[in-house]
Structure 1
Amino acid sequence: MQLDVLRQVKKPRLVACDTMNLWITIKKQALLKLLKKIDVLLLNDEEARMLADTTSLAKAAEILRKAGIPRLIIKKGEHGSMMFGPEGSFIAPALPLPVVKDPTGAGDSFAGGMLGWLATKPLTEENWRKAMLIG
């Protein structure tokens, strides 16, 4: 379905994909086909390891980038996020909170904040890094 939607968009400025373990498990081949057409992949650390079939997060990033994903953002919950792209890597810390009541949707909120901010900016390395901090 995502490929069908993507085909309908003429000259997209940025194509982002945020996947989840369900699609990695049941539709991995279709997902891999989609990933060849995106600009940035967002996923959590568990999903990165699952998609790359490795236990090492650094190795997962290397495998996914070599597979043709131009920019990879790995969400690590309370430990922040990591970005791997053409200009190298960047680690953004998370704001430490004394109490977390329910983290449901936190990764989606991060992605929305980050991509929403980027929507109004040039896609420079500096702005990608700022977007991660804003997210």
Structure 2
Amino acid sequence: MPAKDICLSRMPLVAIVDDDEAVREALSELLRAMDVACRTFDRAEAFMAEFEPDRFDCLITDVSMPGLSGIDLLRHQRSIGSTMPLIVITADTNPATRSRAIRCGAHAYLTKPIETEVLLQHLQSALRRTAFRSDAE
């Protein structure tokens, strides 16, 4: 289901934070095919430098990156009061890492390789959550 099928006042904007350029490009292409705008960042610090409340509708991040990890990014977003849904996409299959991400507020924790349909289901759920939150405000 294209994101435009969700009742939103504007095209959704998703942030992608991953140090792997090929992953960023693949996710960007997938989202654009769904009519979802995206902005990519090669590390958590770059995203944090451009973050503004309510600018992004969802964040997709890796866990293992140089500098701040995806878990650090999750913690930071929650510490500043952000309710933006965060989806973790990682090669890290450690159950402790998954538990930590979920405890820190991850909307979903998906391990690579990712099935496109599974990612799209979680993204649609996250965007519906954002749309519902915006309608309630």
TM-score scaled to structure 2, two decimals?
A: 0.41
TM-score scaled to structure 1, two decimals?
A: 0.42
Q: Larger relative contact order (C-alpha < 8 A, sep ≥ 6)?
A: 2
Bigger Rg, structure 1 or 2: 1
